[in-house]
Structure 1
Amino acid sequence: MVSDSPSNYQRIVAEKAHAFNNDTGKEYFTELYETEKTLEERWIGEVGDVAWVHAFAPKSHNDFIAFFSKAYSIDDVKEQNWIDFSTGLRALFATLSEQGFASFNLMLHISPDPESKQPIHVRLIPRLTLGLLNTSDINFFQALHQEPLSFKLPEEIAAIARKHFEKIK
């Protein structure tokens, strides 16, 4: 998904990363990467210039974050970065499989502000299968971008519902 306007997640990340930079003089994701690597509590590993951690406040049962530590725009991502990223993904797919998860949601975030020097990051969470429905719980747009989904305008649905309320008068 690509859009002219940011999703809720993208907007919040941009606002909070900017505020963090103003308060500390440091770039948020770089600082998070360095802190997690030092503490080793949620640090997973690093392949080339792509590092993986588990989120402190997960959006699902697992919530993996990858940092492309030297890539700030899509033009900065080299073929080797994609190879390194895919190597990390294979390890995480094994992690998900070991826990019985068969599918996932993934989001690649590239800051729209080239001046922010915010490294590209990825979030990956499992999709949960709902019992006998044999369907996934939530899609990436809801889970990772914090965007509710509706295929119809609220006003259209209200007009349809009003017709049925008129029948019960």
Structure 2
Amino acid sequence: VLDPNSFTGQEFMMWTVAVYGDGWLNFWKELKPAIKTVAPGWSEGWVKFTTNEAPLMVGYATSDLYFDEKSSDKSFIPSEGGYIYIEGASIVAKKEIKDGAKLFIDYILEEKFQRLMAEKNYMLPVTDIKLGDEYNRVPTSTKLVKVKTKDLEKIEEYKKELIKLLKK
């Protein structure tokens, strides 16, 4: 698994909170004996997975795009549903907004930038661009797991609980 202090590790932890509610930590207690390693982040987890140091890892639906099409390794979305991970960019509302900030937002919304993110970083675009055929391999789901606001407010508390459990 990934360290809950990493973005992907935190998102997996919050997926368990959303799916199991108050019993989320029990899920981790049951899972703990099967955990082979706790990687500090996605990249380190990826290396452990691809070198067979870890039998599976939590990643992104687009992780399959890192594999050769003929690879037996496949991503899946659990039957409970997927958790959407969104990265964003915005301009903070201020009296005076620099032109560079507006230009930057305009730039990252351009088709060229969105295409590069899809082709080089395997991220889904935020604008309507045609994706390459390789994106047909990305698993999809109509079921989405949503975290309650009250749980979002407790992320740091949950991380401390999970880290304590993982260190035992």
- RCO higher in structure (CA 8 A, sep ≥6): 2
Question: Relative to total residues, which structure has the larger strand share, 1 or 2?
Answer: 1
Task: Name the TM tier (shorter chain).
Answer: under 0.3
Question: Relative to total residues, which structure has the larger helix share, 1 or 2?
Answer: 2
Name the TM-score, length of structure 2 as normaliser. Answer: 0.25
Name the TM-score, length of structure 1 as normaliser. Answer: 0.25
